[in-house]
A and B are shown apart, each in its own frame.
Chain A
Amino acid sequence: MELTGAEIIIECLKAEDIDYVFGYPGGAVLHIYDAFYKQDDVQHILVRHEQGATHAADGYARATGKPGVVLVTSGPGATNAVTGIATAYMDSIPMIVITGQVPKHLIGNDAFQEVDSVGITRPIVKHNFLINDVNDIAETFKKAFYVATTGRPGPVVIDIPKDITAEKVAFEYPSEINMRSYNPAVVADEGQIKKAVELMVKAERPMIYSGGGVIIGNGSEQLRTFTRSLGYPITQTLMGLGAFPASDPLSVGMLGMHGTYEANMGMHHSDLLIAIGARFDDRVTGALEKFCPDAKIIHIDIDPASISKNVKVDVPIVGEVTQVLDAVNALLEKAAEKTNKGAIEKWWAQINEWRAQDCLKYDRESEIIKPQFVIEELHKVTNGDAYITSDVGQHQMFAAQYYGFDKPRRWINSGGLGTMGFGLPAALGVKLAFPNEEVACITGESSIQMCLQELSTCKQYGLPIKIINLNNGYMGMVRQWQEFFYEKRYAMSYFDALPDFVALAESYGHVGIKVEKTADVRPALEEAFKQKDRLVFLDFITDREENVYPMIPSGAGLNEMILV
């Protein structure tokens, strides 16, 4: 039987086991929307802005590990999706973005709603395709999903001219795909693994530095076994939180610009750095010339281009995190006994001394609501078990520092691109994936306004997420930098026309609660989570000029932190 191109697209999505597509219609994709209308295997979620579609698909992907799928029209539909594609790209999130294109004969004509989507997205995708022939749709989809989900994952854009979505052809989905130019299967070098284990056993001041790659590569189990068998301290990046439990005493917290004192000092003084699925981002390393001066470095990563990009490593290991750590763990079964117990004990004593600084302390007696306090209470009310999405700013750092993630895929934030507006649509995507789990979006009054329109999507699909708005009346993170580095000249970082968020939430058909006193924080949170099937917007009026500590100013080393 022959199917139209549009019907073939749906069949491809079914074959890939896709349950949700996040999208927004327009002229170039109307055939595809018509095909959606005629079936109910794949559910289409109508967002209110294409950026929302990309973040929702991204949140869905981060929480589930499955690729998120987006469908947008040509021209402005595609350009609106760009921020979300770049967000997913920077954090290596598997995503398929289907963009409509003007009919083939109009391409290059400056036709109505024509943009070169493949050209615009080229630097922010793992790969992209322009389909020229209805016969190529099935194979292209197979390739796109294969590329997006294997190796170091990433977004893939498929641009489809309108005319070929109406043409008919017999459908057959390839069961296998072989691309001579793309071969993500790597087997880590055994010799390198042995060398790494030797260094691990001999280390006197080791530090495990694990990143988002462990979560994306589903390596949390292996990481736990590994860390516990050695008994070494572990620090995690903003993207890696939850791969190893924050509540485990071996965890010294997050590292980097707003990392803990013990993590950053531990990094700086280590003699062996074991980097796993992390990419030595500038927010993590601080000034490169001061980075870990005494450490030998082992780096395990799926992407060879990540290795020795910013920091030269001594033992590179390219491979899947699960496979590499399984091999390491097997060797450690015998070797772990031989670690230098005396030196490690001394090292822990030193780390505990740094810990005693209690770098995350804040005024717990404050009557004015402290943002940190809200996060700690949120942890208690949700038993530390909620899916937490966030936007970008101080609230994001507070969430990372104070929520204490014990499980992977629970902490969902835009670490690489730092996209304000990510939190709400991402939460919507997570809630669709896990309707029975608690999902909260930690945000600020500036960030939330960037994709606010998705409150309407939440209403339409009945997605009772909880919004934790830490409202300090400032673009807090910008204000903090202006306080520290621009003598408090608060240029454009203040909002003096904020909406009434309670009324706003209510106008979308949700519940709004304003909280102004510390004593009301806990009851308000409890009330919000009691309302199982309502979206509750909690507007916490917080200390206006609270800062995120510790902080490493730019140009400083990891041992040069500003503490409270």
Chain B
Amino acid sequence: MVYEENKTEAVEMRHIISILLENEAGALSRVAGLFSARAYNIESLTVAPTDDPSLSRMTLVTTGTDEIVEQVCKQLNKLVDVVKLVNLTDDVHVERELILIKLVAEDERRDEVKRIMDIFHGHVIDMTDTTYTVEVTGDSEKIDAVLKALEHITMLEVVRSGQLGMARGDKGIV
């Protein structure tokens, strides 16, 4: 009857949640505040306006047991600014993340970086005499793999966008 009894079986899983919210001042802090106030995890969070400028779309990655994530979703749904929420994890969906890396690229490194970018379908988008800035998009596993492949090269700066997600198929979230 009680969660604690099942604690040993309760496995923490990664969940990716898509949220449509009013594009209003403060809406983002309501979501972020909820996570800190209730001690829920946020792994990544991205937010930007949609094609309808009065709405923002947020993709949030969190980890927790099924019970906790159910609570997270219910609490998010309770926020007056939240218009709609979908836990993408429940269904087939696509995920993408963008990474930008500025790395030291001199002499033979310049070719090597370009070859790695070819393999990962990435691009060099800026350069100086001594550096390249590259971009790669993909799911988190691919992004992790890129970082691993470049591990031995000095990276000056790394920025990841956090996950974006969308359900597969012909239905939209609204």
Interface residues of A, Cβ cutoff 8 Å to B: 118-119, 122-123, 126-128, 130, 147, 179-182, 288-289, 291-293, 295, 297, 303-305, 308-312
Contacts and interface: CB of A to CB of B under 8 A. Distances in A.
A334 to B, nearest CB: 30
A312 B37 contact: no
B78 interface: yes
B2 A122 contact: no
A289 B2 contact: yes
B49 interface: no
A305 B71 contact: yes
A288 B80 contact: no
Given A123-B33, A126-B80, A181-B81, A295 B25 contact: no
B80 A181 contact: yes
A304 B81 CA distance: 17
Contacts of A311: 1-3
Interface string B69-107: 011001101101111000000000000000000000000
Contacts of B67: 308, 312
Given A122-B26, A130-B26, A180 B83 contact: yes
Contact of A122 (B4, B22, B33, B70): B33
Contacts of A308: 67, 70
Nearest to A118: B26
B30 interface: yes
Given A304-B74, A305-B78, A308-B67, A122 B29 contact: yes
Given A118-B26, A292-B1, A297-B1, A127 B80 contact: yes
For A123, A127, A181, A293, which residue has the most chain B Cβ atoms within 10 angstroms?
A181
B21 A181 contact: yes
Interface residues of B, number: 24
B108 interface: no
A122 B30 contact: yes
A303 B37 CA distance: 19
28 contacts: A118-B26, A122-B26, A122-B29, A123-B33, A126-B80, A147-B80, A180-B83, A181-B22, A181-B82, A181-B83, A288-B3, A288-B4, A289-B2, A289-B4, A289-B5, A291-B2, A292-B1, A297-B1, A303-B78, A305-B71, A305-B78, A308-B67, A308-B70, A309-B71, A311-B2, A312-B1, A312-B2, A312-B67
Contacts of A292: 1
A59 to B, nearest CB: 25
Contacts of B74: 304-305
Contacts of B70: 308
B10 to A, nearest CB: 11
Interface string B26-41: 1001100100010000
Interface of B: 1-5, 21-22, 25-26, 29-30, 33, 37, 67, 70-71, 74-75, 77-78, 80-83
Contacts of B5: 289
A425 B174 CA distance: 46
Contacts of A293: 1
B24 to A, nearest CB: 9
Given A182-B80, A289-B4, 8 more contacts: A128-B26, A288-B4, A292-B1, A295-B1, A304-B74, A305-B71, A308-B67, A312-B67
B39 to A, nearest CB: 13
B123 to A, nearest CB: 39
Contacts of B22: 181
For B1, B22, B82, B83, which residue has the most chain A Cβ atoms within 10 angstroms?
B1
Nearest to B7: A289
B1 to A, nearest CB: 6
Q: Which 8 A-B pairs have the closest CB atoms?
A: A305-B74, A127-B80, A181-B83, A289-B4, A288-B2, A182-B80, A123-B37, A288-B4
For B2, B29, B75, B81, which residue has the most chain A Cβ atoms within 10 angstroms?
B2
Nearest to B34: A123
Nearest to B22: A181
A6 B71 CA distance: 41
Contacts of B82: 181
A119 B75 contact: no
Contacts of A128: 26
A235 B24 CA distance: 44
Nearest to B37: A123
